[in-house]
Structure 1
Amino acid sequence: MNQAVDNDTAPRGRRPGIIRRRLQWRIMLLVTIGIAAILVAFTITSLLAVTESIERTLDERQALAQATGGHVDYVVRQSLKALDEIPFGDGFDLEDSDPEPEQRALRRAFFGTIFSRGVYLTDADGRLLWMEPEQPSVLGTDISHYPHVRAALESGGRVVSGLATAVADGGAVASMIVPVRNRSGRLVGLVGGDIGLSGTNLQEIIHFSALGKTGYAQIVDSQGTILASTRPGQALETTDHRNQVATLIQEKRTSSGTCHDCHESADGAERETEVMAFAPLQSAPWGVLIRESEDEALAPARRLKERAIWLGIGAFAVALLFSWAMVRSVTRPVAVLTAAAQRIASGDLSGPVPDLGQDEIGHLAMAFETMRTKLNDSQDTIQTWGRELEARVQERTRELEDSRDNLRAVAEENVTLYEEIKRKEAARGHLLNKVIGAQEDERRRIARELHDETSQSLTALVVGLETASLTSRTGRAKLQQKLASLKELAVETLERVHDLIYDLRPSVLDDLGLVAGLRWYAESRLQAGGARVRLRVKGMERRLPAEAETALFRIGQEAVNNAARHAHASAVLLAVTFEDSCITLEVDDDGEGFNLAAIGESTARHPGWGLMGMEERATLLGGTLKIVSEPGRGTHVQARIPLEGESGDDAKDPGSHSR
């Protein structure tokens, strides 16, 4: 209304334009500009959403390529593992004259892997020794000129080829080779497997990666040759991105994006735009390509773009129409509402908004009034909520502090319990060490008593009996016979007492050390039964701490007794290795052997106590005990004891020698 008055009172010579004279047009213009800005923002947002959708599509293809590559990588690693396990088959030995174990191992690998074109075995010069399935016509052929075979012979390691030539018939294959070494580590041959590229072995691995109607997956090597493809007819062709693929495989780098299929369409002019994702393999010079038509892969993004454009145009038209209708009904009461709004914005909530009728503007006026009333009430409510929130925060803070104190108390209690357990464990070890030391002291005491008292008494008895037999010359033949029998009994008893003394604590261990004690005990226990005994010393022989010598002697004593009493061995080898920080005792026999698992599961009384005692002695000194035995294959015992603060005599002859 004020605007109309201004227009009526304007000078006749200055007639303003229609936009300036009509509030409606000014509002329409401003609304139009605002809508245009919103439309531009909407368009930019839509384009960003389309770009994000395209990037998400590429990321999905990249993830699919990596997942497919990981699956192919797993198959390759399992195939190499199967080849690695062939030389460890039962009886496998290229240096013996029995080919049956090798043939059996190759046959088992052929039926359990993807090597559809055969598994083969060569010697160290690359001559074919055997092949599964059997190909007599190629046996003895020199295949060392094959690039992948020559690479395996020169490097002595695993080789996974790209496109290669089959050993059996010269066809196209992908080959994997692993070395075969003897026990000394020398290369004695190769085990290889050929994967046929004309079949479906590799294609079945990637068939699930083909997306949609136009999507397909490929496995390519470092030369760009397609080893397998879900699209028929592409196998053994060269990919149209061989240089990029070779670089990505060499750098072990993934990639995704759009590319052009180099195969021309029917008219020879157009090239189809594709989405491509690449992922290299870690265990082979191969890579996985996931390809799909861009029209199919990016169809959702393009539909989103088209819908955004049409929606923006429609929204713009509707907004213009709505703004035109709204302006006509708003211009008159807008001044009243503006004044009321300004009053409310300034913080004056005391005065009510005037009633402007029952139309939209009237409802807006009522809404302003409702808003004013609620804002007035909200101020009080917000203040109340602020006080309640502060009280809740303080209460929650106190609860958290209490929880923290409880957790700290539990942690301190756990630390105390852990320290107590450590102390008790140390006390147990110390106690066991004391018990074994007391056992050895008691054995020394018994040995001294047997030697100083019982042995001397028996010797006196023998001398007295011999004297009595010499003084009884006439008429006492029966007495002399009885005395002779008593003498033999006394001599036998004396020998047994001597054996008991040496079993309890052989003086040679205290006087000459571990090596002499082991030699004496093994010879005295085994040679009488016809067994051969050898003792081998490595390193610089020297005296050891008493507890180490005692533990190793008792372990060797138990091993020798087992070899003589249970294994019925005909040959026993004892080896003592002196090192700076530890000493190792090994006992090997060719006896009957035994099953360790069966001893652990036995229900007999005291099963394996001797073995448990050996392990306990090694463990108390911080060492380890290893026992390897199989029925019919003898037994190997190895005890390894660390040396800390060793004492004893000076070092003896250095080097390694056998006795």
Structure 2
Amino acid sequence: MTLSTKIGLSVFLGLLAILGVVGYIGLHAVWQSTDRTMDERLVLARFVAQDVDQDISQRLQQLQQIAPAMAENLEGNRLQPIKDALEELYRYGGPYTLNTFLLDEQARTIWTVPSAPEGTALAYYPNVLESIRGGRPAVSGAISSPAEDGFMVSLSVPVRSAQGDTLGVLGTTFGPASAFLQTLLAPIHLGETGYAQVINERGSVMAESDSGLESSAFQVTAHAEHFSELLEEGQGGVWTCHRCREPEGEGDRRQDVMAFAPLTIAPWGVAIRQDEDEAFAPRNDLQRRFLISGSVALGLALGAALLVGRTLSRPLRQLSLASQRIAAGDLDEPVTVDGRDEIGQLGTAFELMRGRLKQSRQELEEHSEALATLEERERIAREMHDSLSQVLSYIRLTTSAIEEHMAGDDLTAAGDKLKEVRQAARDAYEDVRQGILALRAGDVLEKGLLPTLQEFLDHYRPEAGLAVELAVPDGEAVGLSQAGQVQLLRVIQEALANVRKHALAKTVKIEFSHSDEWLQVSVGSSWRTFSTRFSSTRVPILCRLLAVITTYYQVKESPCQAASSSGVLSLSLERPRTEPPLSWPDLIIFQTASFGMCMTAIQEPFLTILPSRLRSSKSV
């Protein structure tokens, strides 16, 4: 998992936790809205039930106010005042009043207005029997009447004497009950789907606010048993239900909110019904807004997490890449990290470190170049010393031999020895000259290998009397590190010195060839045999030259051993196959067929004598 992913995930989880808390608060608000809606419906049902109770209570109070006068008239056997009172009660009872009546204690009719009501006998009204037996006001249930459409409702109060004895029952009947009660429910408006109902003790709908009922019978509501139980227990409540309006098996299935409150006077209850979608519209709207805002907030949180992750990881990625470049040796490209925070300060510290490392490496390169120059001069001085020591020793021995020949008057032999001394002096002179030229090998660092080699050959040809050919394919430049250029020039110079002194050749060919993997340099002469003293005089020098090169590389095999001569010196350098490509040669193989010397698998390290920057491929 990348750092950007980790940071983004951490930020996202943090924001998600915050959104979770906000979401819980929002859901709590939704739940509160639901409870508030349910409570509002229950309160409304109770208010309507109180209105119905109040209307019926007023009618009962009206009867109770007349009852004492009726008792006096009954005790005085005054029928006319009773008739007048019942007539007035009927006249002012309203359009839904069907009759008014007065019965004695045996439930026999004393008088009714109108005089002969049709239907069930008044004595069988349940409220009449309750008022006579219980001595209290009573309200009947639904009473059928063939003369009226629908059902009737009767109210009654006991008529008592001054001593408290029940003398009879005073009552009134009104109907149809649905029309009467509907006037009480008419003010209830609950949107397009809300309505109120009055439900009796059998679970039948006596009236509802939005439409009339069938004339023949009350509608039986769904879950009638549940309403009967609530009325019997005098309990109310609020809940949601399916098919609350129609009986089981009828009508479409609909989810409604139901609030129910029982009446205190009559065995009825008021139900408030409304479609759940409409009742909970504010809650649903709040929930929908919360979901939309939550989704938007979640998307913004995810975007913020990605943005923060990328913002924080980008400078860290830049620092990581910069550290990889520095580890690979690239100190030229600056470290750029924007910002003034801790990461920006770290980037500034990286840039200061890069600058100081670059300065230190430049100083080390200069020191290494100076050290390489001193080592090269020391090596050349040692070679000149060894060569001159051998020549001087040879001259000393030869002059001693000349003295002996002169003492013996052997002038011919002395002359031959003098010629050898002269040749040795000439060779010594040439060696000194070659050493001086070698001291100028630093020109390779300025002019390049091929121009310096060509300048050397211009001096070598007339002095050695040899025809030297330099062959470079298509005039191409050869890519070598500068340390390799200097040492390769010295190897070629020493090989040419061997040819001049020992090969007795007339022509010499120096050939550069290369492929995608190899660079090969060959020095060959026209004669492939050497004098017997070559191995004792020149091989050590060439071995030391090759050994100097090994100071720049890690050598896995011995670079020098004696073998038969073939007249060709071959130097092979392998191009590396690593990625990204390094400046070659990183793997170098030196093969000298004429001397049998071999150096294989030579790996140039990052920094020994010369830094890696000097190994970059350039024209030589």
TM-score bucket of the superposed structures, by smaller chain: 0.3 to 0.5
TM-score w.r.t. the length of structure 2 is 0.47
Higher relative contact order by CA 8 Å / sep ≥ 6: 1 or 2?
2
Larger Rg: 2
TM-score w.r.t. the length of structure 1 is 0.44
